[in-house]
Amino acid sequence: MAMRKGYKALLAEAEAMIETVPVATALSLHEDPEVVFVDLRDPREIQREGRIPGAFHCPRGMLEFWVDPDSPYAKPIFAEPKRFLFYCASGWRSALAARTVQEMGLERAAHLGGGFTAWKQGGGRVEMPPPHP
């Protein structure tokens, strides 16, 4: 059975509907208390590569459950009237995630163009998490 829509089409649709924040802008937003950086990467990626200081970790597989206030897994941070800047390694998962949460009603969601890779290349600060036991 042929796929009706591949990941490239899904990404193009998402990117047409969401705000992509370039690294230079993201760097200037990093200290803004009204902006929450949301790291969607797997914990192993964070252990290996580090993270943006102060970012909230939300594994991609839990996103919809953590955003929905009716979910038993809802996280209060997503009910705050903040701007949410999602990121992953290269910007693919975060583009799809930003579109999903916008459809769920999180209107001030955007994603970091180029992801964590672009953040590092742009000179963004990185912190290493404590070693996993």
- Spatial distance between the Cα atoms of 30 and 105, rounded to a whole number of angstroms: 23
Where the chain has pLDDT below 50, the residues are: none
Instruction: State residue 25's pLDDT score.
Output: 98
Instruction: State residue 130's pLDDT score.
Output: 86
Q: Which two tokens stand for residue 29?
A: 């937003």
- Please, how many CA atoms are within 13 Å of residue 42, restricted to the half-sphere of its CB? 3
Instruction: State residue 1's pLDDT score.
Output: 73
- Spatial distance between the Cα atoms of 128 and 133, rounded to a whole number of angstroms: 14
pTM above 0.75, yes or no: yes
Are 14 and 98 within 8 A, CB to CB? yes
Instruction: State residue 32's pLDDT score.
Output: 97
CATH topology of domain 19-121: Oxidized Rhodanese; domain 1 (3.40.250)
Q: What is the dihedral sign for C-alpha 64, 67, 70, 71?
A: positive
Instruction: State residue 131's pLDDT score.
Output: 80
